[in-house]
Structure 1
Amino acid sequence: MFWILCAALIAVVTISVLMPFLRRRREAQPVAAYDLRVYRDQLREVERDLERGVINSEEAARLRTEIGRKVLEADRRLADAGGSAGPGATIGAVVVLVAVLAGAVALYLREGTPRMPDQPLAGRFAEAQAIYANRPSQAEAEAQAPARQAPPEPDETYQTLIAQLREAVARNPDDPQGLALLATHEMRLGNPEAARDAQARLVALQGEQPDADDLIRLATLMTEAAGGMISAEAEQHLAHALQIQPDNPQGRYLLGVLQIQTGRPDRAFPIWRRLLEEGPETAPWIASIRNNIGDLAWLAGVPDYQPPTPRTGPGPDADAIAAAGDMTDEERQQMVEGMVAQLETRLAEQGGSPEEWGRLISSLAVIGQQDRAALIWAEAQERFAASPEALATVREGAEQAGVAQ
């Protein structure tokens, strides 16, 4: 089928290039030749009129001269038509056309895969199943993961607290609260493997009835440690969490990522489509979905899909803006600090969009809380670990704050 389409395209291009030359030759030559025949008939009619005495010799001479000029003009036009679209011009067009087609074929033979057979839909599904079944193990994926960028060095006080937390967990490895704190702070420090181990221990302590959020967090940490790949081991925790809580949005997002990684955009698209329609727009996975849903829809066979319009929250009202203009520098600084504190509290309790996390980090640096900005950046890296696009958005704010290397 592919080569049939190629042959049809070549035929269309060839006809399109040569048709103007052939049409000009067919149209211009017949008109000039017809005029020439008419003028010659007129010359013969003049001679007959002279013989019958209809016109005298002077009138006949004048008519011969006038018709002769027309004959010469028609003959010139006939010669021009034949020369402008003659064999030479047509051959030149053919040579250029052949050169272009030969170059296209050579480029395809070099860059394309001409020997690749057609792949029916069933074959593609079988290939996707093979990718799914042959994924690297968690250990192999972690060994193959690219090197991560180290987070900024925390201050000495924070390092001392983390050292004390590690010692406390080592003394009491079955303390759920200590394990949860250790997993959070190890991730902030850029140690996803240590965070994964602490979270795995926390899930194991919960026995046969683990918490769905803890399972999803464990799957996320395993994915981060594996360089973004969801291994079979991470999928087991994800599937268990979705059995407990089928509508968990973060778990469904990760399930969509898994389907994309294993070559099944047709399965990933309905999952992400529903998440995007449900919102909220401030959810950490929404930015990643919105940036990729168009391509995913095309791959899933839904090229005409239109994502819903983002729903944005209200900004400050006119009274607040007017009041800020009448404040002193100290009062304005206090207002800014209060707004930053409110934003930090809301993000900690309810979550928010990557843009809001980036704005919080940059705002903390502006008001002189550089260390706090570094800690929030570390937390954001953990929260958005499964969404590189969202993490890139947060990184912009971190770079403005000078805490992202």
Structure 2
Amino acid sequence: MVFWILISFVALAMTTLLGLVLLRAHSVGEPPAAYDLRVYRQQLSDVDKDLLRGVINESDAQRVRTEISRRILAADAQLQKQSTGNTQPKGFSRLTVLLTAALLIGGTLATYAVLGAPGYVDMGLASRIEAADQYAQSRPNQAEAESKVPALPSPDLEPGYEELVAQLRQTAGERPDDAQGQALLAQHEANLGNFVAAYQAKENYIRIMSGDIVAQDFGEQAELMIMAAGGYVSPEAEELLDGTLTLDPRNGPARYYYGLLQGQLNRPDIAFKVWADTLRQGPKGAPWINGIEAQIAEMAFRAGVDYTPIAPPAAPGAAAPALAGPSAEDLSAAQELTVDERQEMIRGMVSRLSDRLATEGGSAPEWAQLIGALGVLGERDRAQAIYTEAKTRFSTDAEALAGLEAAAKQAGLTP
């Protein structure tokens, strides 16, 4: 309602300004002939002054007076025909003002009624968060979501595969307590696109195992339920994701689907943070990393974040990229610099490395390199802050922590 009032006042103000211009221009003022008369009389006076100064002679002055007098007579004759200047019709001016008002005010309101959101209440940050929480409590459950998913096309299968799966169903039905059979059934039902049957079999597997399971089992069931619901994360799937992340906070697929859930709950701010942290944890090329990279820019836009692409680190065991350092050209150029200039060049390299790690993330050796470089520069407080952040990022990687600790010791941060 506030927005309606605002745009109405703006349209009314514009109409008032245009109306004043039209109504004040009703009378043009004195006719052009009156102005011409004043000019010609001034010219006659100037002729007399020029004659007294000797600028022109008497014959030229007389000829100029004659010409000006002729023009004065013509202008006076024209003035007699026009007591006042041209005027605009009063009725037409008022009609124009009314039509302008109708066009601006009516057109503005009509355009907003078509393109805007009439009746939509003002939504501040607190209101949007509250609305998201309310939707989270009242959104459709798994069964409701599945009922709205259209039938999937039949996948291309090898001859006889469906018969083998049918035999597996029969065997699994005859052995309801066979965990291995339920696990196989879940896998092959998913291959056929029967995601409902697949997550039900996975649920049976978890029940049979009676707690002797890993976080991945909950995550796989959640993923099958999400696929069965056409990509929608239901409350039931959310509960499984919570269980997965409780057991394994770094589980990549669960983090991907948790971010997807927050986006569906109109909390893109949470979704972006979860996905950005997941990208920094990697590994590059993982299916969930590819999914995040394809969608995070849009999620950042919804969250109002100026997104800079994040490069996921490579998987453990992959060839590590060479650490950033001075090139051969840099080393050659450094030989010709003064001590202060060399120090400034080193600070520039360290600053670039620090900015890249802060925005894009990086490997543990790169963080260790930054800690060591800051120690050499004597910036121990900054090195300590980087060391603290790096330990948080690699808290579950014992090898990375060992490298960071060695760099901190070399920088004089630890005894």
- The TM-score bracket by the shorter chain reads 0.5 to 0.7
1:60 paired with 2:65, answer: yes
Deviations 1:122-161 (A, max 9, x none): 232222111111233323332x322222223534321232
> Which of the residues 247, 252, 273 maps onto 2:250?
247
Amino acid at match of 1:305: Y
1:106 paired with 2:107, answer: no
Q: Which residue of 2 aligns with 1:307?
A: 309
Q: Which residue of 2 aligns with 1:205?
A: 208
Query: For residues 38 and 104 of structure 1, what CA distance do their matches in structure 2 show?
Result: 49
Name the SS of the counterpart of 1:282 in structure 2. Answer: coil
**In the superposition, relative to structure 1, how do residues 36 and 58 fare at CA in structure 2: closer, same or farther (>3 Å)?**
closer
Q: Which residue of 2 aligns with 1:161?
A: 164
Structure 2 spans left out of the alignment, 5+ residues: 316-415
Amino acid at match of 1:174: D
RCO (CA 8 Å, sep 6+): is it higher in 1 or 2? 1
Name the SS of the counterpart of 1:219 in structure 2. Answer: helix
Shift of residue 257 of structure 1?
1.6
Structure 1 spans left out of the alignment, 5+ residues: 314-405
Report which stretch shifted further, 10-19 or 108-117.
10-19
**In the superposition, relative to structure 1, how do residues 223 and 99 fare at CA in structure 2: closer, same or farther (>3 Å)?**
same
Query: For residues 33 and 291 of structure 1, what CA distance do their matches in structure 2 show?
Result: 75
Output the TM-score relative to the length of structure 2: 0.58
> Which of the residues 266, 273, 278 maps onto 1:275?
278
Query: For residues 253 and 111 of structure 1, what CA distance do their matches in structure 2 show?
Result: 34
Query: For residues 288 and 87 of structure 2, what CA distance do their matches in structure 1 show?
Result: 68
Query: For residues 298 and 228 of structure 1, what CA distance do their matches in structure 2 show?
Result: 21
Name the SS of the counterpart of 1:208 in structure 2. Answer: coil
Shift of residue 221 of structure 1?
0.9
Q: Which residue of 1 aligns with 2:269?
A: 266
1:120 paired with 2:124, answer: yes
Amino acid at match of 1:118: D
Shift of residue 220 of structure 1?
0.9
Query: For residues 283 and 123 of structure 1, what CA distance do their matches in structure 2 show?
Result: 37
Query: For residues 253 and 19 of structure 2, what CA distance do their matches in structure 1 show?
Result: 59
Query: For residues 72 and 244 of structure 1, what CA distance do their matches in structure 2 show?
Result: 104
**In the superposition, relative to structure 1, how do residues 83 and 120 fare at CA in structure 2: closer, same or farther (>3 Å)?**
same
**In the superposition, relative to structure 1, how do residues 22 and 286 fare at CA in structure 2: closer, same or farther (>3 Å)?**
farther
Deviations 1:74-119 (A, max 9, x none): 9xxxx99x789x9968975873564143123124345644444323
Shift of residue 282 of structure 1?
2.2
Kept in 2: contact 1:46–1:64 (CA 8 A): no
> Which of the residues 164, 182, 186 maps onto 1:183?
186
**In the superposition, relative to structure 1, how do residues 8 and 295 fare at CA in structure 2: closer, same or farther (>3 Å)?**
farther
Name the SS of the counterpart of 2:160 in structure 1. Answer: helix
Q: Which residue of 1 aligns with 2:393?
A: none
Shift of residue 293 of structure 1?
2.5
Shift of residue 211 of structure 1?
1.3
Query: For residues 293 and 269 of structure 2, what CA distance do their matches in structure 1 show?
Result: 17
Shift of residue 259 of structure 1?
1.4
Amino acid at match of 1:61: T
1:10 paired with 2:11, answer: yes
Q: Which residue of 2 aligns with 1:139?
A: 143
Query: For residues 36 and 62 of structure 1, what CA distance do their matches in structure 2 show?
Result: 14
Query: For residues 92 and 308 of structure 2, what CA distance do their matches in structure 1 show?
Result: 53
Query: For residues 242 and 230 of structure 1, what CA distance do their matches in structure 2 show?
Result: 15
1:289 paired with 2:303, answer: no
Kept in 1: contact 2:155–2:193 (CA 8 A): no
Pair member with larger Rg = 2
Kept in 2: contact 1:39–1:67 (CA 8 A): no
**In the superposition, relative to structure 1, how do residues 47 and 295 fare at CA in structure 2: closer, same or farther (>3 Å)?**
same
Query: For residues 231 and 294 of structure 1, what CA distance do their matches in structure 2 show?
Result: 24
